[in-house]
Amino acid sequence: MTINVAKISKLDRASVLHPFTQLADFASGKLGDPIIVETGKGIRIQDATGKELIDGFAGLYCVNIGYGRTEVAEAISRQAYRLAYYHTYAAHTTDELAILSDRLVRMAPGKMSKIFYGMSGSDANETNVKLVWYYNNLRGKPKKKKIISRMRGYHGCSVVSGSLTGMSFYHDHMDLPVSGIIHTGAPHHYWGAEAGESELAFSARRATELDELIQREGADTVGAFIAEPVLGTGGITPPPEGYWSAIQEVLKKHDVLLIADEVITGFGRTGSMFGCHHYGIEPDLITIAKGLTSAYFPLSGSIVSEKVYQVMEEGAAKVGAFSHGYTYSGHPIGAAAANAVLDIVEKENLPGNARVVGDYFQKRLSATFAQLPIVGEVRGVGLMGAIEFVADRDRKTRFDAGLKVGARVSKAARDRGLIARAMPHGDILGFAPPLVTTKEEVDEIVSIAEAAVREVMDELS
Ligand code: PLP
């Protein structure tokens, strides 16, 4: 099918409300026409004008198996022909869903018991917060409800998940955060550490701050701590040494549940199947989405541990049915897509590829960018990485926000055929290519990014 670019652009501009888009500049045409993405294969997408781009961000860190995998398209089609929909209320199910759930319980870190399904990372986090409240109500601890998340954490955009997100521009003008949600310090050594403070000492300080926060609020009022194993949208920042063990000790001491938001890190991105495996995290609840179906179909899940589920089951005689659910919870097409995607993840050992190619990627990023005069930090793990730009390396000062350094580098990369994302918190260029990326493709990504960074560096000097 040939797309009429002018016609589609006009229809889009007139009728689509785009996320994270300057509405007036889009409406006036100042931002240019919408980019009509038409096809994709492997790590590349093509727009309707025929321009090909390497997708160095896998969509929004989600198309882990790469584009154009016909096995998944066929699984979706087979399920749609057989049974396009049925709900999971009142103990209904489908074969694909039961098989998927058994698989996920076995794959997941820790002692997991059940999965509740949604359609997005945001709604799965909403569910996890409700599960914390439900769990503590059933345990006779009705005050133990506050949720602690981290500054620079990202957990979604809906009312509660958007409140959990720890970046003010997700709250401004939207009346967030709602009450009962508290933010603690970000686990970013580069910006957060005091002069000469080691990673271990910084992690211990963050854990002490958390401990003091819980004591100030009253441990009997704090239900859970939610965090991404690796800080994602807040800057693609792996945890400093010793962070997770120190934090978990504090949570155990105060009987505070741990929700691991594995929306980005789940299914291989760090080089392990889950970020929790990678960092020795033992969660009580896990949030999954994105990589679960590689975004071939919207599907998310809240994975519930034995510990939490037992309380729910024991409470049933008292409270009756578990009164939470969506029309599309456990959608059979989503389940079929997830099973087909997980077949690929397992058969092609994508966590293993993310480890091996990821190591190469991290080395190439460091070797190419770490010594440049406008680069403060190069960081990452597996197939997620970031370059943070600073005005002064020695004094660690940021560029004037008006210079839009991150956005300019991202645009220069795009003009050369590479999508790398200008992350929203600071001047940061982020990478999260599909987990099928090869070393040769890493070389392509790094060399385009280098040309883009050098172009902007020259403009700034
Ligand atoms: N949690 C994390 C860690 C994410 O990165 C995201 C999205 O980027 C979400 C939750 C929200 O997922 P969704 O956009 O599917 O609602």
- Report pLDDT digits (tens) over 189-239: 999 999 999 999 999 999 999 999 999 999 999 999 999 999 999 999 999
What pLDDT, on a 0 to 100 scale, did the predictor assign at position 2? Answer: 87
What pLDDT, on a 0 to 100 scale, did the predictor assign at position 338? Answer: 99
Q: Among 150, 231, 287, 290, which residue has the most ligand 1 atoms within 8 Å of its CB, making it the best to mutate?
A: 290
Residue 399: CB atoms within 10 A of its CB come to 17
For ligand 1, atom 10: residue with the closest CA: 155
What pLDDT, on a 0 to 100 scale, did the predictor assign at position 406? Answer: 98
What pLDDT, on a 0 to 100 scale, did the predictor assign at position 54? Answer: 98
Q: Hey, what are 440's tokens?
A: 């040769």
Question: How many Å apart are CA 91 and CA 330, to the nearest integer?
Answer: 11
Q: What is the DSSP letter of 132?
A: H
Q: How far is CA 151 from CA 132, 154, 226, in A?
A: 21, 9, 11
Give the CB-side neighbour count of residue 443, counting CA atoms within 13 A: 3
| Helix or strand (DSSP H, E) at 84 | none
Tokens 């790094």 belong to 446
Looking at the chain, the number of H-run helices and the number of E-run strands are 16, 15
Q: Among 154, 167, 296, which residue has the most ligand 1 atoms within 8 Å of its CB, making it the best to mutate?
A: 154
Q: Hey, what are 207's tokens?
A: 């854990």
Q: Quick one: how far is CA 202 from the chain centroid? A: 24
Longest Cα–Cα distance in the chain: 70
Report CA(268)–ligand 1 centroid distance (Å). 16
What is the atom index within ligand 1 of the atom nearest the CA of 125?
10
Question: How many Å apart are CA 394 and CA 372, to the nearest integer?
Answer: 12
Q: Please tell me whether the overall predicted TM-score, pTM, comes out greater than 0.90 for this model.
A: yes
What is the atom index within ligand 1 of the atom nearest the CA of 121?
12
Residue 234: helix, strand or coil by DSSP?
Answer: coil
Low-confidence ranges of the chain (pLDDT < 70): 1
What pLDDT, on a 0 to 100 scale, did the predictor assign at position 457? Answer: 98
For ligand 1, atom 13: residue with the closest CA: 121
What pLDDT, on a 0 to 100 scale, did the predictor assign at position 116? Answer: 98
Report CA(156)–ligand 1 centroid distance (Å). 5
What is the atom index within ligand 1 of the atom nearest the CA of 233?
5
What is the atom index within ligand 1 of the atom nearest the CA of 298?
15
C-alpha torsion sign, points 243, 249, 250, 255: positive
Report CA(154)–ligand 1 centroid distance (Å). 7
What pLDDT, on a 0 to 100 scale, did the predictor assign at position 180? Answer: 98
The ipTM, to two decimals, is: 0.99
Lining ligand 1 with CB less than 6 A are 60, 120-122, 125, 154-156, 228, 232-233, 261, 263-264, 289
Q: Exposed, middle or buried, 272 (CB in 10 Å: 0-12/13-18/19+)?
A: buried
Give the CB-side neighbour count of residue 4, counting CA atoms within 13 A: 5
Report CA(237)–ligand 1 centroid distance (Å). 16
Contacts of 186 by beta carbon, 8 Å cutoff, 6+ apart = 150, 151, 152, 153, 166, 192, 231, 234, 237
Report CA(330)–ligand 1 centroid distance (Å). 18
Report CA(263)–ligand 1 centroid distance (Å). 6
Q: Are 231 and 186 in contact (CB under 8 A)?
A: yes
In whole angstroms, how large is the CA radius of gyration of the chain? 22
Report CA(121)–ligand 1 centroid distance (Å). 4
Q: Exposed, middle or buried, 320 (CB in 10 Å: 0-12/13-18/19+)?
A: exposed
Q: Hey, what are 4's tokens?
A: 């009429």
Q: Hey, what are 431's tokens?
A: 């990478």
Q: How far is CA 122 from CA 13, 147, 164, 296, in A?
A: 26, 15, 10, 17
Pairing state between β 300-305 and 421-423:
unpaired
Q: Hey, what are 247's tokens?
A: 């934090």
